[in-house]
Amino acid sequence: MFATETGAPLNPNTDFHEWKDLIKEAGVRDARLHDARHTAATLLLILGAEGRTTQGLMGWSDPSMPARYQHLVKQVQTDIAKRQGDLMWGVLSAQEDGPAAMGTLAE
């Protein structure tokens, strides 16, 4: 249970109205407070936070929650595709240098 500064119970609408005031003041589109959880989880995905880190920061006990909250945005897809390309081209360059250069990738 959450309380006011004087210890009285919070009005259930308090966080709703404070959230609406906050997003209006920030000049961002109207959204539900719950949408902020999806945004936070997706930002953690973009940042490359590992599963346990995301789970801890978001307060999830169920490891399947990222599948519900994280959205595979184009930025993540583009980054992974670039990293795969870099890895592939690195492998092709290593092949040109001979089998010894490939040893570290194959191990």
- In the predicted model, residues of the chain with pLDDT beneath 70 are 1, 91-107
Flag whether 34 is in a domain.
no
Q: How many angstroms separate the Cα of 95 from the Cα of each of 54, 83, 87, 98, 102? A: 37, 18, 12, 5, 6
Flag whether 12 is in a domain.
no
pLDDT of residue 107: 47
Domain range for 104? 72-107
Flag whether 46 is in a domain.
no
Flag whether 27 is in a domain.
no
How many domains does the structure of the chain reveal? Answer: 1
pLDDT of residue 29: 93
Distance CA 82, CA 42 (A): 19
pLDDT of residue 65: 95
Please state the pTM of the whole predicted model. Answer: 0.66
pLDDT of residue 106: 47
pLDDT of residue 44: 96
Flag whether 9 is in a domain.
no
Flag whether 88 is in a domain.
yes
Flag whether 102 is in a domain.
yes
Cβ atoms 69, 58 nearer than 8 A: yes
pLDDT of residue 92: 59
Flag whether 43 is in a domain.
no
pLDDT of residue 95: 54
